[in-house]
Amino acid sequence: MSRVKLLCLPYSGASAMVYSRWRRSLPDWLAVCPLELPGRGARLGEPLQTDMGALARQLALESLPDLDRPYALFGHSLGALLGFEVAHALRELGAPAPLALFASGTAAPTRREDYEKDYSQPKSDAELVVELRDLQGTPEEVIANEELMSLTLPILRADFLMCGLYRYRLRSRLDLPIHVLGGKEDKSSMEQLLAWQEETSVGFSLDMVAGGHFFIHDHEAKVLRLIRNNLSVHLRRVRHFSAMAADG
């Protein structure tokens, strides 16, 4: 089976490292390729970004030379919205379409009213700590570590602001399937998740996973199984049509 690149976009405050362990859990035909965002990890020296459209275009331009084989996009929370914008940016650049977009843990682009209300202004350190505790994805010992927080909070502040400043632009639907994953105890409503189907002209699915916002870690095996199973179907379909075209 052909190798597929899975371009993974991190959630707010995170670096590409959050996806590193996936390499050990996915089959050899799926190559996990986390995309690092400016201002963290290997790109720590670059300025943080709060303009979603500009960042999406930057990531699309950086990824374009390496899209020499089938690929898909996966993003969680902020990463899902960013993955959606990267897909549009790649289409504008004339790139081949991804096999699919996996949008995990966030409301559809047209249903961002909560984010616009709650995140459109920079948050204080104290407000960010409250958010971290509410999301239940950061151990207390990390929150209590001043050195770690001094590195994390500016990134989190910029990422939350990027979500709050995001404004949806009406464009033609993406010509690729969108697979949405939601946490059963997460704050996004069923209506907000189902609205993702308005963004694709090809196919849509919604799978609800046990857990809160960080279900991708708490129930990693199920998340990876959903990714693997969907991509194997899409890849077989691509190979089938390629073989038909060659025969014709």
- Cα–Cα distance measured from residue 46 to residue 62, given in angstroms and rounded to the nearest whole number: 15
Catalytic residue among 12, 15, 63, 77: 77
Catalytic residue check, 77: yes
Burial of 141 (0-12, 13-18, 19+ CB in 10 A): exposed
Question: In 10 A of CB 129, how many CB atoms?
Answer: 17
- Cα–Cα distance measured from residue 157 to residue 11, given in angstroms and rounded to the nearest whole number: 12
Instruction: Decide: helix, strand or coil at residue 144.
Output: coil
Largest Cα–Cα distance in the chain?
64
Cα of 113 vs its chain's centroid, Å:
19
Catalytic positions are: 77
